[in-house]
Amino acid sequence: MKLVFAGTPEFASVALARLLAAGFRVPLVLTQPDRPAGRGMKLHASPVKQLALEHHITVAQPRSLRLDGKYPDDAAAAREAIEAAQADVMVVAAYGLILPQWVLDVPRLGCLNIHASLLPRWRGAAPIHRAIEAGDTETGVTIMQMDAGLDTGDMLLVERLPIRSMETTGSLHDRLAVLGGRLIVEALEIAACGGLTGQKQPAEGVTYAHKIDKAEAAIDWTASADSLARRVRAFNPFPGAATALAGEAIKVWAAHADDTASGGEPGEVMAADADGIRVATGAGVLVLTELQRAGGKRLAVADFLRGFPLARGQVLDAVPSSKAGA
C-alpha cells in the first residue's frame, strides 16, 4: 500500500518509522512548519520531518489545509501534493492541523488516525496527560477512521494498556507510541486484505482532553495530596509542576501522597530530609522527591536540599502563572 503520513512530534515519528520498516511506500509526509526552540530560539524541524528527510521523502509543511482560510496558497499547494501522491490512505498521528473534508475525501481508504486513548474517553489534544491527571488505571490506542468531528470517527482497532502506579506522561507516551506504531501496521495489513471494519463509538463516556496550558503547572496547595501527586506525574515532562519560595520558582518533578499524615496549613513544610520534603495540602501530605531550581538541573531531594535548605514551618507559595511553565 502507498500512503501519505501526517504527524509532527516524537509520538508520530515512532509510527512513521514502524511503517517504513514494515515496507509501506510513503511518497509524501505532512508536518508542522519548523518552530523556534531552545535558548537561541533557532528554527527546529519536527521529529517527523527529520525522519522523513533521512529517508528522502518529500515533506510539505502547510500552515493550514483550509482552502478558504488564512493561508489558501499553502492549502492549495498541499492539495496538489496530496493528490499527486495517489495514496491509498493517509495515516495521521498528532499532526496538529484540522483536516477539512477535502483531505478526508482524497485517499481511496480515507484517513486513519492513531489516537492515544480508549475512545470516546479523552478525545482531543492531550489524552495522555489527562488520563494520568484523572487517575485512570488504563488507557490504550484507538485506530480511528477520521471524519469531520473531533475524534468522533468509527473505531477500527483498539488495544488497552495499563497505567502504572508511578507513571509519568513521558513514560506512558513512550509505551503508547510503540503500541500505536504496531497497531497502525496491523490495521493497514488488514485493510490491504479488505477486512478492516469500523465500529461506532459509544455515546456514553465521552470526555475531552483539553490542550495543556502552561498556567496549569502552578501547584495549588489547597488541593488534595492525591490530586497533586497525579498532576506532578501528568505534567512531567511538560509543563512541569511548579511552586515557589520567597518568589523563586521551583519545579517539582516527582512526588507522592501520604494520606495518613495531616496537620499544617496548605503549602507548609512539615519536614525536609533525604527521604523527601513533606508539604501539607488541603488533604494529606505531598512528599516531594525530585526538584529543580530555575536555571538548575533536576535533583533528587537530598542533593536539592544541600543547595536549597528548607526548614519546618516555611510555606511554599503558588508560583505566579506567568512563571509556572517557564
Cα separation of 154 and 104, whole Å?
14
Instruction: Answer whether 2-209 and 215-324 agree in fold.
Output: no
Nearest to 156 by CA among 129, 124, 119: 119
Question: Cell numbers at residue 96, please?
Answer: 496538529
pLDDT of residue 326: 55
Q: What is the pLDDT of residues 150-194, one digit of tens each?
A: 999 999 999 999 999 999 999 999 999 999 999 999 999 999 998
Residues in the chain where the model's pLDDT stays below 50: none
DSSP H or E stretch at residue 6: strand 2-7
Does 215-324 carry CATH code 3.30.465.10? Answer: no
Q: What is the pLDDT of residue 246?
A: 82
Q: Are 253 and 290 in contact (CB under 8 A)?
A: yes
pLDDT confidence of residue 108: 94
CA 21 vs CA 137, 181, 303: distances in Å: 32, 10, 43
Amino acid 323: pLDDT:
54
Query: Residue 41's pLDDT is what?
Result: 80
pLDDT at position 135 is 97
Task: Identify the CATH number of the domain defined by range 2-209.
Answer: 3.40.50.170
In sequence order, which ranges of 135-219 are alpha helices (DSSP H)? 169-192
Give the model's pLDDT for residue 38: 74
First to last CA, the chain: 44
Full-model pTM: 0.93
Domain ranges within the chain, ordered by starting residue: 2-209, 215-324
